[in-house]
Chains A and B, each alone.
Chain A
Amino acid sequence: MENILGIILETLFGTHALLGAAFGVIWGMIGGALPGISPSISMALILPLTYTMQPVVGIITLAAVYCGAEYGGSIPAILINTPGTNAAGATTIEGYQMKLSGRAGEALGISLLSGVIGGLAGLLVLVALIGWLADVALLFTPASFFAIGVLGLSVIASLSEESLLKGLIPGIFGLMIATIGNDPVSGANRFTFGSIDLMSGISPIVVMVGLFAVSELLRQSGLPDWPKAGTGTKLKLPSFNMWRKRLAIPHLIAVFWGTLEGIIPGAGGTVAAFISFNEAKRWSRHKEEWGKGNPEGVAAPECANNVVTATTLIPLLAFGIPGSNSSAVLLGGFLLHGMRPGPMLFVKSPEVVYGLFGGLFFANIFLLIFGLVSLKLCLWLVNRPKPYVLAIVYVLILSGAYSLNHSLFEPTLVLVFGVVGYLMRYFGFTPLPMVLGVILGFLVETNFRRSLEISGGDYSIFIGDPASIILLSLSLVFVGISVFRMVKRRLDSSRTTTA
């Protein structure tokens, strides 16, 4: 324990981690406050810049962006009825009603406090649940690592409940992209077409920036300007009495659902926010206020989506499985610094894992401080004309991609994947399965082949290893639950249509 505390203190005060956390929170708040710039886009934009930082500082910066963005998203949700992030969609319902009744400052204060409480509660859950996984690390074999990859890919099923086909196809497309470059086992060139740039493969970061940021930029070019907010709002934090009487129960509900949805890959902050909103409404003692600006309707979703910023790190750090767009970008940050999250991360880079815990704690403290003092800046940003914001975002994308490898090849690929992402969204595909495929392709293929090499071609190695069988069974459960939900939803919808 003392050793862990020592690592945390050394990381926080021996590096620029605190500076990274502060910068990340501000960047995240700015990104979240701009409609159309989601937390994952805010993170993807800054991802290439973290390359120049120390690994732990880079990771803390990215995690802090996520924290800041989830709060930032509530600002336009409350002020202009336009959620800055998907998760803030639930906040608009009661938050905008509070604004209409002249209580915008109070709503923003509740959102900020709920975000900080959620972030810190999520961090506590993360520390409590993840500790024992460090001991499991040494038990893993190539077959188990292959099973981890399969578990990660099974997330695709839960991401594509509307149409399993439309989740699986981009997932396989991502795996195909992961095969480009030198074969990890024999070194043979695959799909390089004589290009030296392609020999080392296509970086997942390039794919993510293209799929998330460029495709959104292209999409925004066909949409009208976003609405403007007033400038006279002053943030007002709720009193302790108010918290005890009105907000404590919604916060408890949000911590429960945020934990559950964060741990389950594929669910994420948006689902947690909407479920918490719904449950807070169900358990509320002030049912007559719902729909007219109930503070509980702001507290529950804002707390839940910030709980998820920490609990989504559980599947990421323990198994290397990104359960949401934002954690996929965070995984990209690890890969950028030559680290692969998963059981061995606790053994190989404990300073990053424990440093991240400390960094997240301070990120939430910074969120409270900057949230209190930076409202004017956020209001100014919300009111910036869209053309100026998107022009700057475009330059950040092109410059950031170039700085990855000091080559024009990366920004070219970023634009290519931007077009791919844009077309995929047009045709109703979600980009995250493709990102999962690109990230997990190497892990799955390499360990599949290594396992067969060890077993002399005997496929029973995958069910002979205890960790592998547990993880593969878990994958089947995930897929089963998703298929069941999909079939149930289709049946319900066909019944409604018939009626």
Chain B
Amino acid sequence: MRKDCIAGTAFMALSAAYYYFALDIPRSSLSDAVGAAYFPKLLALCMFALSALLVVAGVFTKPATTSEKVDGKKKEGPSDLYIFRRAAGTLLIGITYLLLVPYIGYPVAVSMVVFWTILYFHEPLSRKVVMTALGAGVFFWLLFVALFKIPMPMGFLALLFS
């Protein structure tokens, strides 16, 4: 199974990197007999062995039994590439929020997330979308900042209200 081989290889690489960094864990004079690096090294070795087994199992599994093909036919529905692109777009909205929120402030950033997410999920641009985005900005500011007293980043808004 191709997916198992890819996943197994990725986990093997991860465990190798993890082991490499475990070698750098300093030995403290306060440490016990086992030491701080013992467990991480053990985990890395276990992970490497299991991932290698997954790769081997993937190589010897017949493709007909995989989820990629059923009864010789390709699975129905959107392609993997389309699904990944959609997920990446959704993720990008969150990343943009994290990058901008310290500058544009929490209520504006929330409105932006709501606005772009709604449009991204195929809703046509309308007054309802704009009003929902603006309303969400105010509502979540009231909920988190005014009610729960969470000091959300206010960006330029802090200057306006100071």
Q: Which residues of A contact B (CB under 8 A)?
A: 49, 52, 165-166, 168-169, 172-173, 175-176, 179, 183, 185-191, 214, 217-219, 221-222, 225, 385-388, 390-392, 394-395, 398-399, 402-403, 406, 408, 411-412, 415, 418-419, 422, 426-429, 445, 448-449, 452-453, 456-457
Contacts and interface: CB of A to CB of B under 8 A. Distances in A.
A165 B4 CA distance: 10
B159 interface: no
Contacts of A189: 25-26
A426 B83 CA distance: 10
Contact of B91 (A176, A186, A418): A418
Contact of B32 (A165, A411, A453): A453
Nearest to B33: A457
A-B interface, 4 closest residue pairs, ranked by CB to CB distance from nearest: A387-B121, A222-B83, A391-B117, A183-B36
B102 interface: yes
Contact of A222 (B3, B82, B97, B151): B82
A186 B113 contact: no
A415 B150 contact: no
A186 B40 contact: no
A395 B47 contact: no
B11 A169 contact: yes
Given A218-B87, A408-B102, A186 B28 contact: yes
Contacts of B22: 190-191
A165 B53 contact: yes
Nearest to A165: B54
A395 B140 contact: yes
Interface in B84-119: 84, 86-87, 89-91, 93-95, 97-98, 101-102, 106, 110, 113-114, 117-119
Contacts of A426: 3, 80
Given A169-B50, A403-B148, A179 B43 contact: yes
A388 B131 CA distance: 12
- Listed residue (B30, B32, B39) with the most chain A CB atoms within 10 angstroms of its CB: B39
Interface of B: 3-4, 6-7, 11, 14, 18, 21-22, 25-28, 30-40, 43-44, 46-47, 50-51, 53-54, 57, 67, 78, 80, 82-84, 86-87, 89-91, 93-95, 97-98, 101-102, 106, 110, 113-114, 117-123, 132, 136, 140, 144, 148-153
A338 to B, nearest CB: 19
B93 A394 contact: yes
Given A172-B46, A403-B150, 17 more contacts: A49-B148, A165-B57, A173-B11, A173-B14, A185-B30, A185-B32, A190-B22, A190-B37, A222-B84, A222-B86, A391-B132, A392-B114, A395-B110, A406-B151, A418-B91, A448-B39, A453-B32
A390 B148 contact: no
Contacts of A52: 148-149
B110 A388 contact: no
Given A169-B51, A387-B121, A391-B113, A185 B33 contact: no
A54 to B, nearest CB: 14
A169 B40 contact: no
Given A392-B136, A415-B91, A188 B117 contact: no
Contacts of B114: 391-392, 394-395
Contacts of B106: 399
A386 B50 contact: no
A173 B33 contact: no
Contacts of B44: 176
A168 B46 CA distance: 10
Nearest to B94: A415
14 contacts: A52-B148, A166-B54, A169-B7, A169-B54, A173-B14, A176-B18, A185-B30, A221-B121, A394-B93, A408-B98, A411-B94, A427-B7, A448-B34, A449-B38
Nearest to B102: A408
A412 B98 CA distance: 7
Contacts of B51: 169
B123 A387 contact: yes
Nearest to A428: B3
